[in-house]
Structure formats: C-alpha cells, structure tokens
Amino acid sequence: MQNVIVPLNSFDRVEVLEKGQTSFIKLISESGAYGIEIRRELFLEQDPPFDRIKQTIDSYQLFTVYSAPVECWKKNHQLNQQELKTIFQEGKKLGAKWIKVSLGHFDQVQSDLSQLLSFLHQYQEMQLFVENDQTIYGGNIANLKLFFESATAQNVPVKMTFDAGNWYYSKQDVDLALSQLAPYVHYLHLKQVDVENGKLVTVPLQKNIGHSWEKVLNTLPSHLVKALEFPIEPKEKVREYVQMMTESEALT
C-alpha cells in the first residue's frame, strides 16, 4: 500500500513509552503500510539516538514523517524559528522527508511569511506540513485559509495536513473545511470522533455509518497519503486498518 502511514500515537501510549518507538517499526512494515510517523512527544531518554532509529526505519524501507507538537507561529504572531530549527534538524537525523507541525497564532498582517520562506530554503530536502489542530486558533478554518492563501501567493512551499477528526474538537464544520481548504491538502489524518458521556473521544474507524471521515476520504483525491491516527488495540490490528484503506481506495 503506497499511501498509508501509521503514526506511533495510534498505539497504546504506555507501551510505546516503555518499549520505545523503534520497537513498533517491524510491526508497521509487516502491516503493509507505506510509512511511519514518528512522534516527538513520545520520545524518552531510553529511546535510541536519531541515527539508529533512522537505520531501523531504512532497513524496512519505510517512508518517514516527523510530527512535533510545535506551533509554527508564536503568540506574538512571529515565526517560531528556534523551535522549527530544532524540529527540522531532528527530522533530518531521522531521515524524515515530511515535517508536521500546527499553525499556531498566524496573523495575516503581523506574521512575516518571508521569514518562513527563507527558513525553508535551508531545508529543501524536507516538506513542511501544517495541520489543523484541536485549538480554537490553530484549528480555525478562516485562519488556516488565510495562511495557505498567503503562503501560496508568496510561493512559500508549505502543504496542509487535513485532520478529519480535529474539526470536532475545534468546533468547526467539516464540510466547510473541505470546501475551503481542499486545494492545499496533501496529507490526511483519519480518525473518528464520537461523543461519550458528554465528551469528545477519538475511536477506531468504522465503515458505512455515515461518519465524516468517510466523506473526507471520498471527497479528496484517492492518491493522497493517509495516516491512521486513532486507537489501534491490539496493535496487531494495524494490518486490518491498512487493508481497509486499500479497499476504500479501490472503491473510489
């Protein structure tokens, strides 16, 4: 399957923290997935150095995405340059081709996109992705649209990660997000969000129940790379979900 990514936060957090992200690489490869999304928030001191993680990933010929809980724009609307530099340097050591962060506090007037352009020129071998997160500002459709419109106008090479479930947490309309942001989307994060005991919870994907993740999948181009970002328990079920994506693509 040439377009399914498995993020490490899909597995039991305690197990990932105890065993390290490297221990899941073989499982992900054997599931038939195309790649792996390494998560910065799941690193512990006992994790091996980045170069050893890269060697293991390379031995299974997996594509690497590096995701970090970092906001591109700080609260003062300025570029979060030092944090981005750290993330890109780490991503380079991991052999990641894609770097994923969230939008943060972008302001069309105060945020200087030329700074981001200059920064990205230093890392032309890697692609920056900005995701709609679960915050009211970084998951806001209007803010994201302004950012991607402005970036496109200034030829800033940034693409969007469209998280199908995060719109519920940021209280945004999924259909509106699709209509406004589809031209910028190159990476999908698929999750199903339900309400349990009055709270939003992310649950495993279920087909043919009218959930918005299927509409997102069927609306956007089928060749887009897709990440399975929901609880996969037991971890061996990852193969089933990779196969589900294979079957879904065959129907589109």
Name which of 34, 14, 11, 33 is nearest 24 in CA terms.
11
In the chain, the DSSP E strands lie at 4-7, 35-39, 63-73, 98-104, 127-131, 158-163, 185-190, 192-196, 199-203, 225-228
pLDDT of 106 reads 98
**CB-based contact 248:1 (threshold 8 Å):** no
Residue with structure tokens 């995405």?
65
Question: Residue 17's domain is classified under what CATH number?
Answer: 3.20.20.150
Please report the DSSP string for 27-89 in residue order.
Answer: HHHHTT-SEEEEEGGG--TTSPPHHHHHHHHHHTT-EEEEEEEEEEE-TTSSB-HHHHHHHHH
Rg (CA), the chain: 18
Tokens of 248: 């879904």
Q: Which domain holds residue 13?
A: 4-251
Q: Which of these, 92, 73, 93, lies nearest to 83 by C-alpha position?
A: 73
**What is the pTM (predicted TM-score) of this model?**
0.95
Pairing state of beta strands 185-190 and 63-73?
unpaired
Cross-strand partners of 188: 162, 226
CA distances from 252 to 58, 162, 188, 214, 235 (A): 31, 19, 16, 11, 27
At 1 the pLDDT is 47
Report the C-alpha gap between 164 and 179 in whole angstroms. 13
The CB density around residue 220, as the number of other CB atoms within 10 Å, is 19
Task: Write down the pLDDT at residue 208.
Answer: 83
**CA gap 31, 25 in Å, rounded:** 10
Give every residue of the chain whose pLDDT is below 70, as ranges. Answer: 1-2, 45-48, 248-252
Residue-level pLDDT at 49? 86
| Max CA separation in the chain (angstroms) | 48
Q: What's the helix, strand, coil split of the chain in %, to 5? A: 45, 25, 35
Cα within 13 Å of Cα(107), Cβ side: 9
Domain count for the chain:
1
